């Protein structure tokens, strides 16, 4: 007579129960990362600040999508429409779309993913608001920068003319920044080139201004040494959107930040903190108080002090 093993028979259905949920959980975890559904990743958004890379999906959702994902979908769709309008040089209806997106996220259900995403949607709205404020300033920036590029495209550009164009270019960017423009925003100032921070264009203009030889102002990939050049301006208003950045690229700031300072810094992806002391990350790490507009953060070392 053959004796059956009770343990092996009883284990089979249990094993099946354990396997099936893990597979469906894996599938559920993957769909809201699917780029085919217009889903973004936060690491890409922090690099590009483009709405397509914002977490959440603005494409077709699953019918079983949770309410939080639906809210993020609808808010992201509005933000992309606002971004598209700004890309085309238009601001009509943009403010209304931003307000609608804010309202949707405020009303979204409380869950871990939505609560995590709220700060990034807030940053996205602030980026678009900053871009809207830059809209009227862009034509002059494009004009002065293109004039410099066109001069350097000549076979034998006149050195004095290049210097004069560099001075006009620097003056235009400084004027834009003084009037509240954020030079950390990324733009394509010459058609067919790549998106890059406005501060990198300033660096090229400053090189042309201070050089007796023709400057290599071309809108191609920027060299690493170029992005590290510090902004010579010393009288930047403390409340300027660029903050006390010291002309140091954001990537270098991120490497210096630790603990709660890094959390606060990452939560304000479109701006630098204002503080008392030496501009740049070195001064920021020593400062006991950071300000982002009306928000105030106090630190002891790298630890955030609670009021």
Helix axes 94-107, 112-134, angle to 10 degrees: 170
What is the average pLDDT across 1-26? Answer: 40
Instruction: Identify whether the C-beta of residue 104 lies closer than 8 Å to the C-beta of residue 75.
Output: yes
Return the H-helix or E-strand segment holding 295.
strand 295-300
Residues 143-197: tens digit of each pLDDT: 999 999 999 899 998 999 999 999 999 999 999 999 988 999 999 898 888 888 9
C-alpha distances in angstroms, 81 versus 30, 94, 212?
25, 8, 45
Bridge partners (DSSP) listed for residue 57 = 39
92-129 tens-digit pLDDT: 999 999 999 999 999 999 888 889 999 999 999 999 99
43 CA to centre of own chain: 10
Radius of gyration (Cα) for the chain, nearest Å?
25
Short-list 256, 190, 254, 174, CA closest to 222: 190
Quote the CA–CA distance of 146 and 189 in Å, as a whole number: 8
Q: What is each CA distance from 93 to 78, 185, 210, in whole angstroms?
A: 11, 21, 42
At residue 32, the pLDDT reads 56
Q: Quick check: 132 pLDDT over 80? A: yes
pLDDT for 27 equals 46
Confidence of residue 8 (pLDDT cuts 50, 70, 90): very low
- Assess whether pLDDT exceeds 50 at residue 83: yes
Domain ranges of the chain: 25-134, 138-227, 250-304
pLDDT at 223: 42
Q: What is the pLDDT of residue 102?
A: 95
CA–CA gap between residue 58 and residue 66 (Å, rounded) = 14
Residue 300 has pLDDT above 70, yes or no: yes
A 10 A CB-CB count for 138 gives 18
Residue 181 burial class via C-beta count within 10 angstroms: exposed 0-12, middle 13-18, buried 19 and up: buried
pLDDT per residue as tens digits for the range 28-53: 555 556 777 788 888 999 888 999 99
Q: Reply yes or no on whether the pLDDT at 280 is more than 70.
A: yes
Q: Residue holding tokens 């993957």?
A: 30
List 197's β-bridge partners, or say none.
186
List pLDDT tens digits, range 210-262.
Answer: 764 444 444 444 444 444 444 444 443 333 333 467 678 888 888 889 988 98
Report residue 255 as tokens: 């490497």
- Phi and psi based region of residue 11 (left: phi greater than 0; alpha: psi -120 to 50; beta: remaining): alpha
Structure-token pair, residue 26: 């894996």
Q: At residue 141, does pLDDT exceed 50?
A: yes
Select the more confidently predicted residue: 3 or 107.
Answer: 107
Tell me, what's the pLDDT at 21? 41
Q: What backbone phi and psi angles, to 5 degrees, belong to 204?
A: -65, -45
The secondary element (H helix, E strand) that includes residue 206 is: helix 198-209
Q: Which residue has the higher pLDDT, 53 or 21?
A: 53
Least trusted range by pLDDT, from 99-103, 134-138, 217-221, 278-282: 217-221
pLDDT of residue 19: 37
Distances (CA, A) of 283 to 111, 185, 228, 242, 253: 37, 23, 17, 15, 11
């Amino acid at each position: 007579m053959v004796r059956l093993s009770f343990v092996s028979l009883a284990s089979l259905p249990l094993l099946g129960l354990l396997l099936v949920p893990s597979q469906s959980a894996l599938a559920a975890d993957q769909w809201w990362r699917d780029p085919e559904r217009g889903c973004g990743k936060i690491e890409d958004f922090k690099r590009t600040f483009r709405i397509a890379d914002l977490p959440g999906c603005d494409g077709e959702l699953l019918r079983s999508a949770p309410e939080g994902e639906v809210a993020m979908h609808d808010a992201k769709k509005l933000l992309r429409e606002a971004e598209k309008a700004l890309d085309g040089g238009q601001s009509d209806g943009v403010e209304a779309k931003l307000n609608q997106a804010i309202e949707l996220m405020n009303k979204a259900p409380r869950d871990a993913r939505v609560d995590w995403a709220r700060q990034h949607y807030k940053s996205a709205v602030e980026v678009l608001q900053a871009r809207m404020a830059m809209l009227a300033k862009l034509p002059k920036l494009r004009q002065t920068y293109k004039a410099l590029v066109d001069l350097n495209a000549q076979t034998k550009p006149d050195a004095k003319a290049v210097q004069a164009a560099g001075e006009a270019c620097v003056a235009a960017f400084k004027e834009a920044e003084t009037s509240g423009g954020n030079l950390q925003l990324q733009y394509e100032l010459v058609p067919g080139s790549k998106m890059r921070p406005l501060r990198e264009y300033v660096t090229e203009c400053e090189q042309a201004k201070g050089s007796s030889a023709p400057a290599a102002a071309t809108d191609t990939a920027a060299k690493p040494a170029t992005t590290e050049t510090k902004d010579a301006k010393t009288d930047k208003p403390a409340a300027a959107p660029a903050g006390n950045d010291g002309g140091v690229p954001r990537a270098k700031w991120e490497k210096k930040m630790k603990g709660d300072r890094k959390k606060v810094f990452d939560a304000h992806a479109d701006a630098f903190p204002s503080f008392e002391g030496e501009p740049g990350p070195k001064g920021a790490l020593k400062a006991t108080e950071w300000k982002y507009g009306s928000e105030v953060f106090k630190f002891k070392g790298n630890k955030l002090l609670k009021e």
